[in-house]
């Protein structure tokens, strides 16, 4: 069964490699291109039966905007997303945008072909274990970085938030004390309280945790939880 295909991926090398593999298996590949932001234009112009849409960040905002447009302007084209796993929210976002299938990046070419055949026939293509993982995550969501950052921020006083920001910027106790116009012993006490509240053992760990959870971004934006009665 020969299928008219289009392959788009944020990584051109991956798109071209997959396109070459599908050509060798007898399919008609109309285009292999990057970035995925251009997918809608290509699909509307070339009218493939199936578009393979590769992305490394399926959960990122706006990733599947081209898929939404494809479904609106070229509904005859079925879109199969090639994405990472685990990415339950990405899988959910792909189908919400109108994708007909989701295949993990490390799938064998035979698996990709099976997905192509299914969506061309009007069916949905996704491995049962991926679907189960997506439902499990959506029904029992793990704490997201943004949520974790908000929770940690509530534990700190405004003064401690300022100390954490300075720690993340690499300031030692002397610089923290000078910048905040407090005694070095007071600065040291604040640092110890921050480490204790965050549950880490070093300034480096505190800085890494703050960056990973988005706490620093929230602090920089002025998200503070009440006054510090102790100053």
Mean pLDDT value of segment 154-180: 88
Q: Residue 134 — very low, low, confident or very high, per pLDDT cuts 50/70/90?
A: low
Which tokens sit at 133? 């993982």
Task: Tell whether the model's pLDDT for residue 226 goes beyond 50.
Answer: no
- CA dist list (Å): 43 to 34, 50, 78, 100, 212: 13, 9, 10, 15, 37
Name which of 126-130, 136-140, 188-192 the model is least confident about.
136-140
- C-alpha–C-alpha distance, residues 221 and 57, integer Å: 25
Q: Which secondary structure element, helix H or strand E, spans residue 88, and what is its range?
A: helix 88-97
Q: Residue 69 — very low, low, confident or very high, per pLDDT cuts 50/70/90?
A: very high
pLDDT at 106 (0 to 100)? 84
Task: Tell whether the model's pLDDT for residue 112 goes beyond 50.
Answer: yes
- C-alpha–C-alpha distance, residues 12 and 15, integer Å: 5
Which tokens sit at 196? 């204790």
pLDDT at 138 (0 to 100)? 58
Q: Residue 122 — very low, low, confident or very high, per pLDDT cuts 50/70/90?
A: very high
Query: How far does CA 125 lie from the centroid of its chain?
Result: 22
pLDDT tens sequence across 34-54: 777 888 999 999 999 999 999
Mean pLDDT value of segment 130-140: 65
Q: Residue 230 — very low, low, confident or very high, per pLDDT cuts 50/70/90?
A: very low
């Amino acid at each position: 069964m020969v299928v008219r295909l289009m392959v788009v991926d944020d990584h051109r090398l991956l798109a071209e490699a997959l396109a070459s593999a599908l050509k060798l298996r007898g399919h008609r590949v109309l285009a292999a291109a990057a970035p995925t932001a251009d997918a809608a234009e290509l699909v509307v112009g070339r009218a493939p039966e199936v578009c393979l849409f590769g992305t490394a960040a399926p959960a990122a905002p706006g990733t599947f905007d081209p898929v939404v447009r494809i479904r609106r302007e070229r509904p005859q084209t079925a879109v199969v997303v090639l994405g990472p796993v685990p990415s339950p929210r990405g899988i959910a976002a792909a189908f919400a945008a109108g994708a007909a299938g989701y295949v993990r990046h490390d799938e064998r070419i035979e698996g990709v072909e099976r997905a192509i055949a299914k969506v061309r026939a009007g069916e949905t293509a996704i491995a049962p274990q991926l679907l189960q993982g997506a439902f499990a995550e959506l029904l029992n969501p793990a704490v997201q970085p943004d949520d974790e950052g908000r929770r940690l921020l509530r534990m700190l006083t405004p003064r401690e938030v300022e100390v954490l920001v300075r720690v993340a910027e690499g300031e030692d106790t002397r610089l923290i004390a000078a910048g905040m116009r407090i005694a070095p012993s007071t600065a040291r006490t604040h640092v110890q309280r921050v480490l204790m509240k965050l549950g880490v053992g070093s300034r480096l760990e505190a800085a890494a945790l703050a960056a990973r959870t988005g706490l620093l971004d929230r602090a920089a934006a002025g998200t503070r939880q009440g006054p510090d009665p102790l100053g």
